[in-house]
Amino acid sequence: MMQPVTGKELEYVVDSMSNEDLLMKQCAVAAVSATNPALRAMCASMQQVHEQHYQALVSKLEQHQQMAPTQPQH
């Protein structure tokens, strides 16, 4: 059975998502800037890896979203 995510864990996931997003962007820039075809291909590949990591984090958050406590509306 899945346990709810703690606030500390949520902060860690959000930080990880931010890091993966930054790495995706940096790899995209490197891929279009590189003049060496092998380097360009490697950067494009790494961009895809970071996109997969980001999507995996989003997926896990969505799984836990149903268990998140709701805050009363004021």
Q: How far is it, in rounded angstroms, from Cα 37 to Cα 61?
A: 36
Looking at the chain, the whole-number percentage of residues with pLDDT higher than 70 is: 89
Give the angle subtended at the CA of 63 by the CAs of 60 and 69, to the nearest 5°: 115
How many domains does the structure of the chain reveal? 1
Q: Is residue 1 in some structural domain?
A: no
Q: What is the CB neighbour count within 10 angstroms for residue 27?
A: 20
Q: Is residue 43 in some structural domain?
A: yes
Question: What's residue 41's pLDDT?
Answer: 98
What's the rounded mean pLDDT across residues 26-46?
97
- 8-state DSSP, 18: H
Domain residues for 44? 21-61
Q: Is residue 3 in some structural domain?
A: no
Q: Does residue 5 register a pLDDT over 90?
A: no
Contact 5, 13 (CB under 8 A): yes
Q: Is residue 68 in some structural domain?
A: no
